[in-house]
Amino acid sequence: MPRSQLHRLGDLQLRIMQVLWQRGEATVAEVHAALGARPRFAYTTIATMLRKMEARGLVRHRAQGRAFVYRAAVAERQVSRGMAEHVLDRLFAGSLSTMVSHLLTAREVSAEELAELERLIQERKRISRKETHIKKGDARHEPDSSRLD
């Protein structure tokens, strides 16, 4: 399952993945129940999606009696980053500030959110400063702890 194309997830697939990420494992019935009403999916819809998703390498399953227990085969971080970066690159030319600017004017943001954003940026500035002091360029952070298994 190549990490490529990890940003192409439809809404339903995403919701299913979220159930699996949350629970670790889940049978078709459990996923189906977790998705609940609004709209009410047919049981077989979920089963079919899960099989298609397994073919794409997004999930895996093991048999437990008659039932299949599914689990995610890709980490939430990978998907989140993949999709976020895709939008960032395709729509905002990779400029995080441009994207944030759009989102700040497009929706309500609570004071807590703003404070948290500020904290993140200060934190990042601190790290950047330190790295720049130690060595210029060749910054090798992010130990890629985004593996599963």
Q: Which amino acid type is present at position 44? A: T
By the rule CB under 7 A, 90 interacts with DNA: no
By the rule CB under 8 A, 79 interacts with its own copies: yes
The listed partner (DNA, its own copies, none) that binds 47, CB under 5 to 8 Å by sort, is DNA
State how far the Cα of 47 lies from the Cα of 29, in Å rounded to an integer: 9
Phi, psi dihedrals of residue 117, rounded to the nearest 5°: -60, -45
The smaller minimum CB distance to its own copies, of residues 4 and 105, is found at: 105
By the rule CB under 7 A, 120 interacts with DNA: no
For the chain, helix (H) and strand (E) counts, in that order, are 6, 3
Q: How many CB atoms lie within 10 A of CB 58?
A: 22
What Rg, from alpha-carbon coordinates, does the chain have?
19
Q: Which amino acid type is present at position 68? A: F
Q: Which two tokens stand for residue 127?
A: 């790290």
The interface with DNA within residues 56-85 (CB under 7 A) comprises 56, 65-68
Contact positions vs DNA (CB under 7 A): 8-13, 27-29, 39, 41-45, 47-49, 51-53, 56, 65-68
Question: Which residues would be at the binding site for its own copies (CB under 8 A)?
Answer: 11, 14, 77, 79-81, 83-85, 87-88, 90-92, 95-97, 99-109, 111, 113-114, 116-118, 120-121, 124-125, 128, 139, 141-142
